[in-house]
Every structure is written in C-alpha cells, then in structure tokens.
Structure 1
Amino acid sequence: MRKGCADLPLHSGKAPPWLFERMVKLSESIVELIVLEHGTEVFLRRLSDPFWFQSLGCVLGFDWHSSGVTTTVCGALKVALGRIGGEVGLFGAGGKGRSALRTPEELREIGERTGAPVEKLIDVSRLTAKVDSSLVQDGYQLYHHALFFDREGRWCVVQQGMNPEAGYARRYHWLGEGLGSFVEEPHSGISADRVHRRIRLNLTDVEAGRTRKGILELLRSGDLLKEAERVRRLRLPPRHYIDPSDLDIRNLERTFRALESSIDGLEDLLRIRGVGPKTLRALALVSEIVYGAPPSFRDPARYSYAHGGKDGHPYPVRRDVYDLTLETLKKAIAKAKIGEREKVEAIRRLSRILDD
C-alpha cells in the first residue's frame, strides 16, 4: 500500500456550474487518455499521490491550494466516471457528508450494474475510514470519503478531515496495491515531525483484539515512525495568491521557452482552428498530468497556468483556452481509438519537450 497526505487551508466557496461542467469534461479526457496509454492501475496509482492529485486540481482550473479541491475534484471524477466508467472500466463512489455515508450503498448499485467485485470494496471503505478517524487520531474529523476502483477490484481511497480550530483540512490517500493488512500496517499518513505530538492511539476502540495487538507491535518495533517518514506529504499556505516561493520559477520559465522554440514541430495540433501558444501551454501541462513522472508534480501550483484558477490566481480561468483544450483532447482520443494516433502522439511530445 502506498499512502500520502496533504494539509490544505479551509476555504469556503465552490466551483460555479460553468467551471464544474468543464472540469468534468476535462476529467473524462484525462482519465480516457491515461487508461488508453497506461491502464486503469496507473490511474489509481497516480490518484493515490497527493502531489499528482493537487496538480490535477490545478490543471482542471480549481483553486490551487484550498480544501475544496479535494471534494470538487473527486466530485468531477465521480461524475466523469458515471459517464465513461463502463467504457474505461473505472468507477467512483462516495463524496462529501451524506454522500460519504452512502458509499456502501453506491458500491452495491455499481456492482449490480457492472458485475464489479464490490463486497471486498465495502470492507475497504469502512476500514480505511476507521484507520484515519479512529485508529490514528490527529484532530481531523473525516467529512469526505471517496473510493475509486476498476473491474479487477484494484482501488484507491481519497478522504479528507477538517480541524476548524487549526483552519486546515487534511487529505489522506490510500492505494490497495501492495496492501498486506489494515491492522498490522496502519500507515499513519502523518509527517514524522508531528508523530509524537499529534498521534493519539485509541486502544479501547471497538475494533480492539487483533487491532490493539497490531498497534502495540508496531509501536515496539518503530515501524509506525518509519512508515510515517515515507509518507508523501504536501502542505499548502492559507493565502490565496501564488507567491514565487510556491513555484519553481526556473522550471516554469523553461516550460514557456521550450514551447516557444518547439511550436514548428507540432503541426498536427496547430492545424486545429484557434490553437496557439496559450492553448499549447495548457495542453503541455495536461500532457504532463497524463505522461509525466512523479518529479513533475512536486510543483503543483505550476499547473494553474494551464487554464487559470477559480479565484483568479494566477489569473481568472480562460474559458476560450479551456474549451480549445477540451476540443483538442476529444478529437485526439477519438482518432486514437480508431488507430489514428497522430494527434495523441503530438500531445505526448509536448510532455517530452518539457522534460528535455
């Protein structure tokens, strides 16, 4: 199992309908392209990475750092998979508040409709929520829980708790791949510098028995601290604006220069009416989400430069650029499905240009 967490400032507000629908459509294209190129297991693996998830939220045009990115991105993915899940073999259940409580019911509905192995997933849903809310208590009360899975039963959980006093939310990421036991390896998802201060173990929990024994063994062996140190951790500031310290400026400048010098080699994309430098920049950042390696996602705020952000940072969402991105991806995917990969290869080249 791989797992990480992200600390995000609590902010109010939600995506307006015009933006949310675009987020859903772009989510559809990104999911389709990742599954087409890499398979469902890679999508789930990426979703379990807090840095990739944050980068995805930025490229979709939501706030680059607020707590709402978790619920909104999961919501957009769930709607997108409701439309294309049968085709790509991926499904989503759960959500915020009451929707989180309905996760087992939604899983059964999906199982009846698709034949997916959901009984084990119902257990996964309950256990992951219990580990992050009861087994390891860190002051964050869970209010969002979403489970994404494929037909083979591979899964990823993204859930979030809030601490109003601290003014922060904490997002937890789980991946079923490599999971041995929920009891004997309850990866805390808390950074090592906070383990001693923040973890309070509930040894009188109703799970007791094997769970209590597993916790005590972990504490004696020191494995809990070792696992905490391996957790991928992201913490974002409470301010809205993007500060130079939030970005790798050299990397951002290199992105823009690389595209300017490589436009001549992207004829397949330039033939699409309206596509110019701004759209190529957006497509390049989307391409990194699909094809990029983990080091690309250490700088999530950079992906806000694809289409802009809901709250106007680094600039208001450019609807015209967003719509051209959607149109270009839709055409490329449609062509690739019938064996004509020229446009998809052009999009892939964009990510390679940024890596050069």
Structure 2
Amino acid sequence: MGVSGIADLPLHGGHVPPWLYSRMVKLSGLIAELLVDKHGIKDTIRLFSNPLFFQAFNNIIGMDWDSSGSTTITTAALKEALSKKDVGIRVVGGKGVYALNAPAEINELSRTWDVDVDSLKFVSRLSAKIDNTALQDGYRLYHHAMLVGSDGTWTVIQQGLNEKIRYARRYHIWMENDLVNEPHTGIVGVKGNHALNMVSRASGDARNAVLDIVHQDPNKVVRDWAVIKAMMKGNTTILTYLGREPPKYYNPYLSGSFRPYLASLNEDALRQARNVNDFKDLLLIRGLGPSTMLALALIAELIYRDPVDWEDPANIDPRRYAFALGGKDGSPYPVNKEVYDTVIDIVQAIVDRARRDSGLTIYLRHLAKVARQLNLPTDLVRPTPP
C-alpha cells in the first residue's frame, strides 16, 4: 500500500453517548451514499478495505483515533446506517456475540440479492482462522465484520485484543488478495517483537511443508513434535541431530513475548487433515487451532528447514482526520453538537443535490433519445450549466 507506521489502539471502556452515536449513524449513512453514487458499490467497499481510509472515516464521524472503539463503534454505526438505505451495501457481524451472527445475516442477504451465500460464509469463517490461527501475534479476535455488496463484493474487518498490554489490533482483508499469501491490505496496531505469520509471502515454503507434514502418518508427525519439544528443553543430543549449534532463527522462539512451549498437537485434527488439498482447507479443519498450527510451523522450520516468517506485520498509523469533529473522549477535543449537526445538514444537502442531478441527467438522456428517434434537434434537451 505504500504506507507504514504504528497506530495505538488502547482498549477503552465506557459507551458512546446516545446523542453522539445517533449523529454517527446519520453521517455514516450520508457519506456512504455519496461514495456509492461517485464510486459505485465495489470501489466503495474497496475503500473500506483500506485501513487508512477506514481510520479517516472513523475520525470524521467523531470517534477517537486512539481507541479500540474506532473499529467496533464505526462498523456498528455503518451497519445501522446501511440497514436503512438502499445503496447495495450491508454490514454483517460485529463485536462479540454479533460476530457469530454473520452466517445467519449472510443468509438474509439472499432474500433480496443474488449473491453466493455459501462462498461468503466460507470467506467469513476462513478470515477468522487467518487472523486467529495462521497469524498469531498475541491478539485474540473479538470483532468480525464483513462489508458485502449486492454484486458479491466483500471486505473483512476484524479486531483482536491483547489483554496483557491492554491494546487492540485491527485487520483488513480484501477479496482480490490471495487469502493464504498476503491477504491483508493493512494491520493497525502496536508492532511487537515476534509473531507467527503463516500467511506471509516469506512463509510460502513453510506452508507447503506443513501440507506435506499433515499428509504423513500422524504417528510420524507426533515423533517429529517430540524432537522439537526436546530441542526446546535444551537436549544436546537433539541439537547435534540438527547441527553443532541451533539454527540462528531458532533463538527468537526462546525469548521475549513469543512462547513456543504453548504449542501442542491435536492428533484428531491431524487425522482429519490427511486429505486436505490446500492451506485454506487445512485452516478450516475443526480442532486445528493456534497451538497445532504453531507446532506444525516449528516442525516445518526446525526439522524440514523451510523458514517461517516471524516478523510482526502491523504497519499502519492513520490520524490525519482526527481534528474534523473531535472525539468521543475529548481527543483531540470534545465533539460540538451544533457543529456536528451543521455538518450533517451540509452533507445531506450534497446528497439531495446529487440525487436531483442524477435524476435530471437520466431524464434528459431519455428526452434526447426520443428526440433522435423523432429527428428533432437534440440541443433542445441539453442541460444548461447551473
């Protein structure tokens, strides 16, 4: 994306006051309507897949730039706003228990739209496994939302929390990215020292190795895992098996916040995984969670010598529009109700003008077509400059 930096998203308590949230809903809907009118459905959803745009949108509606609510409140306000407008975009899922409703809400879309429900539900589930199992950075997912278009376009916006350091992290996935090889358009959060990133381009060989590993006899995989556990205990005989010294890339696993001893193998999941065709299928095996994926990654790297990317991928720091209307908690300054209402009135007037101009253009095009059919001068129906 050509951007870099860090955005701190500390976990904030409390609630958005009703007077502010209702305005957020109104302004969100108006901006979304203008975006669809100008860019169309797909490109509007693509904008929200960009974490810089999403953060700017969050800031412009008055949510704090430095809060975990910049994800949860913004998507909730947008979800409510779009449920009341016929612009061809809906938001499904949300925070906590609302994330679990995503499949049912996707089913509801098929009542009015001709969309591939099964494909959307597959993507919803896979996205959660990507940011919870394939990417392990110390943040537990608690928010999962999808923007879905009537044309089948989608983007996923997820957020995880690290209860120890009291920070959140937001993940953006866009439909045209390879979902197992750099699926993210950006990750917003405090950059850490290490992370297991099996969806990094640098982990491509390791992904292939993991597939080869799970296709083996599970008993062989269990024996390989015993070798890795012995290494982590400092067994010199095992270290000699790998060479006189441990590989240089082994050292980070033993220090800092990354703890490889949390890994373990779910043997039932291994047996289910023997017939998987690709890494997507592997991620969706029931019971194959973060600890098993971590164990498989360690086997791939330390025994089969296929390197894994352990670099934390967080990379975004967007704050530019924080001064538009202020923030919920007064950062950078308190929201002014009168100013907010004036902004809503102005944007509403722009939307009304866009609707009026669009209707007039369609009407004039129709008149011009009729004029051509009747061999009348078409300049009689040309729009005059405002």
Partner residue in 1 for 2:145: 146
Asked whether 1:80 is paired with 2:98, we answer: no
8 Å CA contact 2:7, 2:66 repeated in 1: no
Partner amino acid for 2:30?
Answer: S
- Maintained 8 Å contact 2:42/2:151: no
1:323 equivalent to 2:320? Answer: no
- The Cα shift of 1:225 comes to 6.6
8 Å CA contact 2:93–2:102 kept in 1: the answer is yes
Residues 1:78 and 1:3: Cα distance change in structure 2 (over 3 Å) = farther
In structure 2, the CA distance between the partners of 1:333 and 1:9, relative to structure 1 (3 Å rule), is same
TM-aligned CA deviation for residue 42 of structure 1: 2.2
Q: Deviations over 1:148-198 (max 9, x none)?
A: 11112111111111111111111111111233x43x556695868534665
| Aligned CA distance change for structure 1 residues 337 and 222 (closer, same or farther; 3 Å) | farther
Q: Which residue of 2 aligns with 1:60?
A: 61
Question: What are the within-5 Å matches in structure 2 for residues 74-223 of structure 1?
Answer: 74-84=75-85, 87-179=86-178, 181-182=179-180, 189=187, 194-195=194-195, 198=258, 204=265, 206=269, 208=273, 209=276, 210-211=278-279
Q: Indicate the residue corresponding to 2:316 in structure 1.
A: 233
Cα contact 2:137–2:194 (8 A) shared by 1: no
Instruction: Give the Cα–Cα distance (whole angstroms) in 1 for the partners of residues 46 and 192 of structure 2.
Output: 23
| Cα displacement (A) at 1:304 | 2.6
Q: Does 1:10 align with 2:11?
A: yes
Name the aligned partner's letter for residue 53 of structure 2.
W
Deviation larger for 36-45 or 209-218: 209-218
- Deviation per CA, 1:83-124: give whole Å up to 9, x if none: 11xx21111100111110111011101222333332211011
TM normalised by structure 1 equals 0.66
CA shift at 1:141, angstroms? 1.2
Displacement of 1:41 in angstroms is: 2.1
Give the whole-Å Cα distance in 2 for the aligned partners of 1:137 and 1:63.
27
2:71 matched residue in structure 1: 70
Q: Check 1:2–1:41 CA distance in 2 against 1; reply closer, same or farther (3 A cut).
A: farther
Q: Give the secondary structure class of the aligned counterpart of 1:339.
A: helix
Q: Which moved more, 1:22-31 or 1:205-214?
A: 205-214
Q: Give 1:114's aligned amino acid.
A: W
CA shift, 1:27, in A, is: 0.5
CA contact (8 A) 1:2 1:48 kept: no
Greater CA radius of gyration, 1 or 2? Answer: 2
What CA distance in whole angstroms lies between the structure 2 residues aligned with 1:232 and 1:339? 41
Describe how 1:191-340 pairs up with structure 2 within 5 A: 194-195=194-195, 198=258, 204=265, 206=269, 208=273, 209=276, 210-211=278-279, 224=309, 232-234=315-317, 298=318, 300=319, 302-339=320-357
One-letter identity of the residue aligned with 1:194: H
Please report the RMSD computed on the Cα atoms of aligned residues, expressed in angstroms. 3.5
Q: 1:117 to 1:203 in 2, by over 3 A?
A: farther
8 Å CA contact 2:194, 2:258 repeated in 1: yes
The alignment's TM-score, normalised by the length of structure 2, stands at 0.61
Query: Identity rate of aligned residues, in percent?
Result: 40
Aligned amino acid, residue 18 of structure 1: W
Confirm or deny: 8 A CA contact 2:177 2:183 kept in the other structure: no
1:233 aligned partner, one-letter code: I
User: Are the structure 2 counterparts of residues 340 and 175 from structure 1 closer, same or farther at C-alpha, using a change threshold of 3 Å?
Assistant: closer
Cα 1:175/1:186, change in 2 over 3 Å: closer
CA displacement at 1:40 relative to structure 2: 1.9
Distance in 1 between residues matched to 2:264 and 2:183, nearest whole Å: 14
Where do 5+ consecutive residues of structure 1 fail to align? 235-297, 342-356
The one-letter code of the counterpart of 1:124 is V
Structure 2: unaligned runs, 5 residues or longer: 196-251, 284-292, 360-386
Contact (CA 8 Å) 1:10, 1:168: kept in 2 or not? yes
CA deviation vs aligned residue, 1:314-333 (integer Å, no higher than 9, x gap): 22111111111111111111
Contact 1:94 1:147 (8 Å CA) reproduced: yes
Tell me if the contact between 2:64 and 2:331 (Cα under 8 Å) persists in the aligned partners.
yes
| CA shift for structure 1 position 136 | 2.1
* Greater displacement, 122-131 / 38-47: 38-47
In the alignment, residue 57 of structure 1 is paired with which amino acid?
N
What's the counterpart of residue 198 of structure 2? none
